[in-house]
Structure 1
Amino acid sequence: MTSASSPIRRPDLGSPQVMTKRAWWLVVLNFVLPGSVQVLAGSRRLGRFGLRMTFTLITLAVIAGVVYVLWPTVVLTVFTNSIGLWAAALLLAVYAVVWLVLTLDTLRLVRLVRAVPRSRPVIAALTTVLMVAVVGTAGYGAYLATTASGFLSSVFMAGPTEPPVDGRYNILLLGGDAGPDRDGLRPDSISVVSIDAETGQASMIGLPRNLEDVPFSPGPLADLYPEGYGAIDGCEVDACMLNSIFTEVELKSPEMYPKAVDQGSEPGIEGMRDAAQGVTGLTIQYYVLIDMQGFSDLVDALGGVDITVDHRVPVHSDDTFTKVAFWFEPGRQHMDGYHALWYARSRHDTSDYDRMVRQRQVQEAILAQANPANVLSKFQAVASAGSQVVKTDIPQGMLGYFTNLASKTKKLPIKSVELVPDNNVDPENPDYDVIRSLIQEALAPPATDAPAQ
């Protein structure tokens, strides 16, 4: 050992000032470079092990950072995969134990009884705080990783990925409303979210739930209703509208889609997919079903949402939407889950088109509230609510790609395609050629000026 390091390894035990200065150095070194304290003042074998672990972690972090800058989808795929999350949890747990051992050994090497008396509690407190911060962060990270793995496994399936079609991913978004007054689930809101696979620009197409004569993409429903849903001899349920298709297929003829359950879906959802494809003319790769009965739990888990109310909207005191408890007045409102759900569903003195606008407001507010910091700080509650609320066939293998794409989407305004009477869409007598032309016009890339000759 060199003379420069002698005061660290072989200090003057009789000088409280030297021992105090040495103690501060050891505490700081243990925090900045775990393992270095043991190399300088304790067991060099333990110190070398600690340093190897420290430099290995630094190397892994640098590699991950470089890969994230160059190929972000690769890193995101690793950390949105159950295997990758469990590996991260194990690594963090190991480091938590290593840092705990090194910190406790550092506290032993400090020899507080030899330091200046008034400095002893400060040194001990700082060491404890740093230990809790570092070890606690690693332990909490391991906990988050295992919780995330469980959440992903409960919501997302393992299956083949789908490529973009015409440069877009199209996702069917269903708000399921399985109320006590209904026979089975009936989608209360139906949208198609179309996302540019390169730019992340998202367009939300709200489909009126009362559309009639709905066409289908090729499949069993198209064979059964060649002129549109219920157009010739009616259908198997009381109202032949778009949102009734789920109920008919799920309860009356699930055999139409025998492979649906094995593929992470349901017959009713597949019927709705064929209908949405027929209406929009788009290929829909995936679906997301949100259970509106559990929707309020997710909003509460996120800490509520902020919504700008354009006109008075009532909160009802019963499930028949007739008794008004109180009104949301125009202006900026912070809503918990109960009130956000009523705001989205309210039917008092309103139309389906008004409800579609409000539902889209709530969806966009949730996206805004679901920022990384907020989700991480409330992760257990969000994951618990999400696993009860969300059902989808998006495979885990696509999560890294979609997470990266979502980071682009959040930077851009979400476009809306309004299928409303003001755009010549009559739900009782719809012209589906007009509907598809409206959608294609909205999804078309912006025109660029021709280069100067």
Structure 2
Amino acid sequence: MSDVHPSAPSAAPARSDVRVRTLSPVRRASDRVQFRRGLTLTLMTLLMPGSAQLVMGNRRVGRIAVRVWLGCLAFGLLLVVLALTSRSTLFIFATNPRILTIGRVLLIAGALAWVLLLLDAWRLGRPLQMGRSHRLWMTGLNAALCFSTAGALFFAAHLVGVQNGLIGTVFAAQTSADPSEGRYNILLLGTDAGDDREGMRPDSLQVASVDAETGRTVLIGLPRNLEDVPFPEGSVMRREFPDGFDCDGCYLNAVNTWALDHRELFGDQPDPGIRATMEAVEEITGLTLSYHVIVDMAGFASLVDAVGGVEIDVPERLAKFGAEDSWRQEYIEPGRQRLDGDEALWFARSRVQNDDFSRMGRQKCLMSAMVAQLEPTTVLMNVQKIAESGKALLTTDIPAKDLNVLADLALKARAQDISSVSLTPPVIDTGNPDYPKVRRIVADGIDTAEGRAPRKHGLERASLPAVSAPESAAAPKDLRKVNQADDVAAAC
């Protein structure tokens, strides 16, 4: 009988049966060298695509890739030089539809090629010969670089496509206009066309007169209720109204509707309403208009929302609806604040508590604030929303081929004061306007903005009565004075 008890534990296995996997010092050193080589090839491809292939791969592919990359660097340097010396030439690349289309295709092709080169650099690094941890690091890094580089280029291609679509939709006109007496004079029409409105009667009529060299801008506000509007010799409207636009209810903002209702008088003119309105404004101001821009109020609200609102000093409590909507009345409270699109729209159009001339002043303040606050980074981060609102916002006869010049002038205008001239009472009686006097005021306003001495009769400005303040509050700022300000931003 055995002396071993049946319940005794079995003997422990010998230590020689436990296998411990270790790498020899030589193998560990080789793995580190392999990892550094793979990392170097990947970073070389990131900094100069094709360089890894020149060193270890297909040299023909490497040479092509490096040459393309050097060409891209040279083009980027050219853009930097143009930004410093000739921004209008730089804007050609940003506004020419053909160049934008080619650029979009090249960006997409570049994204795909760069990803392929990064994957090839990963292959050349022989990741399967690395240790497990190094292989995971290399694969993760390469995947992250593929995603980030391709993502950046695809996003850039998207921006170019959006820009091209906006230009093709809004700036489809073909006819260019030269500056008149050194200025671009652009008619800005603010409209609020809707199902409850017949035709298009502008709520806001302004001329932006921009110096073609410096960008110095004068905003000329035209009351929509100007009567007896004159028309130039030889025009259809002059033939119909030789003594001015003197029919019942015929104000300046009704010229467009009248012309559209009688379009048979204008032959093959594609847009007789706008043409007649531009002729009237030219005769009123003595300026030759270069272009017109129709700004839809609903589209404007979308634009303000797209850029994150606009900061405005609201001088007084403003009603958001008309007097007939008092049952649902809401208000914009006074004080400096950031307005969203709906609030900015009502800031520009409200006149329940005041008059058209206060509204004209608020519109100028809003335009000045938008010009000052619209930063390039804001535009870049919201380009899709801005493009969508822009298509709904703008109708214009500005051709795409002139955008480079006007965009450069817009940047110059941001750095300068914007002056204002408005044809408002008591300087101008809108019911019985003195149009020769109007033209003198416009000419003097431009002379003053340009630093030239006004003509001997001087610049005539409105002397407005003080606004009575409630007993419990200080007098609000009278924004009617903005209509005659040499510096709109300061007056606001």
Correspondence 1:254 to 2:263: yes
- How many Å apart are 1:14 and its aligned residue? 6.6
2:122–2:138: 8 Å Cα contact kept in structure 1?
Answer: no
Counterpart mapping for 1:258-337 below 5 A: 258-261=267-270, 266-316=271-321, 320=324, 322-323=326-327, 325-337=329-341
Q: In 2 relative to 1, CA 35–443 (structure 1 residues): closer, same or farther, beyond 3 Å? A: same
Task: Give 1:344's match in structure 2, choosing from 334, 348, 353.
Answer: 348
1:251-276 superposed Cα distances (whole Å, 9 cap, x missing partner): x2123444442xxxx21111110111
Q: Which residue of 1 aligns with 2:154?
A: 139
C-alpha displacement at 1:320, in angstroms? 4.3
1: distance between equivalents of 2:161 and 2:77?
23
Alignment of 1:58-97 (within 5 A): 58-97=73-112
2:209 and 2:218 in contact (8 A); partners too: yes
Q: Deviations over 1:197-222 (max 9, x none)?
A: 00001111111111111112331112
Question: In structure 1, which of residues 395, 416, 421 is the aligned counterpart of residue 425 of structure 2?
Answer: 421
CA displacement, residues 389-438 of structure 1 (integer Å, 9 cap, x when unaligned): 2100001110111111111111112111132225x112112212222111
Which secondary structure does the structure 1 equivalent of 2:45 belong to?
A: helix
Residue 250 of structure 2 is aligned to residue 244 of structure 1: no
More moved, 378-387 vs 43-52: 43-52
In the TM superposition, residue 186 of structure 1 has moved relative to its aligned partner by 0.8
What whole-Å deviation, never above 9, does each CA across 1:218-238 have from its counterpart, x for those lacking one?
3111222222211xxx25xxx
Offset at residue 115 of structure 1 (A): 4.2
- Among candidates 223, 238, 241, match of residue 239 of structure 2: 223
In structure 2, relative to structure 1, the CA distance for the partners of 1:151 and 1:352 (3 Å cut) is: same
TM-score w.r.t. length of structure 1: 0.88
Please name the residue that 1:406 is paired with: 410
What residue in structure 1 maps to residue 359 of structure 2? 355
Tell me how far apart the structure 1 counterparts of residues 163 and 126 of structure 2 sit (CA, whole Å): 42
Structure 1 gap ranges (5+): 1-11, 449-453
**2:257 touches 2:273 (CA, 8 Å); kept in 1?**
yes
Alignment partner of 1:164: what SS? coil
Q: Is the 8 A contact 2:323 2:352 kept in 1?
A: no
Q: What is the TM-score with the length of structure 2 in the denominator?
A: 0.81
Q: Secondary structure at the match of 2:330?
A: strand
Residue 434 of structure 2 is aligned to residue 431 of structure 1: yes
State the Cα deviation string for residues 10-58 of structure 1 (Å, max 9, x = none).
xx99711112222221222111111001111222222122112211212
Residue correspondences, number = 424
Tell me which amino acid in the other structure corresponds to 1:241: Y
SS at match of 1:350: coil
Q: Distance in 2 between matches of 1:132 and 1:369?
A: 34
Distance 1:429 1:185, change over 3 A: same
CA displacement 1:266-307 (0-9 Å, x = unmatched):
211111101111111100010000112332222222222221
Identity %: 37
Question: What do residues 82-137 of structure 1 show as CA deviations (whole Å, max 9, x unaligned)?
Answer: 10110111111111111111111112223334445545444433333332232212
TM alignment of 1:7-46, pairs within 5 A: 15-46=30-61
Q: Which amino acid aligns with 1:220?
A: V
Secondary structure of 1:359's counterpart equals helix
- What does residue 7 of structure 1 align with? none
Aligned to 1:4: none
User: Within 2, Cα distance between the matches of 1:222 and 1:45?
Assistant: 73
Shift in Å, 1:67: 3.9
Paired residues for 1:36-185 under 5 Å: 36-115=51-130, 117-185=132-200
Residue 66 of structure 1 deviates from its aligned partner by 3.0
In structure 1, the partner of 2:386 is 382
CA-CA distance at 1:192 after TM superposition: 0.3
> CA–CA distance in 1 between the matches of 2:323 and 2:269?
32
| 2:209 aligns with one of 167, 170, 194 | 194
1:340 and 1:390 map into 2 onto residues whose CA distance is 17
Matches of 1:207 and 1:96 in 2, distance apart?
A: 51
Aligned counterparts of 1:172 and 1:195: Cα–Cα separation in 2: 11
Secondary structure of the residue that 2:295 maps to in structure 1? Answer: strand
Give, in angstroms, the shift of residue 71 of structure 1: 3.0
Q: Residues 269 and 343 (structure 1 numbering): CA distance in 2 closer, same or farther, change over 3 Å?
A: same
Please state whether the residue corresponding to 2:95 is helix, strand or coil: coil
Residue aligned with 1:169, SS: strand
Partner of 2:460: none
Verify: 1:394 aligned to 2:410, yes or no. no
**CA distances 1:310-364 after superposition (whole Å, capped 9, x unpaired):** 1111222x79454453322221121221221122111211100011112222223
Q: Distance in 2 between matches of 1:364 and 1:67?
A: 28
* In structure 2, C-alpha distance between the alignment counterparts of 1:200 and 1:52, rounded to whole Å: 40
Larger radius of gyration: 2
SS at match of 1:166: coil
List per-residue Cα deviations over 1:364-399 (Å, max 9, x = no partner).
333334332212211111111111221000011101
8 A Cα contact 2:301 2:345, kept in partner: yes
Tell me the amino acid that sits aligned with residue 275 of structure 2. E
| Distance (Å, rounded) in 2 between the aligned partners of 1:324 and 1:333 | 23
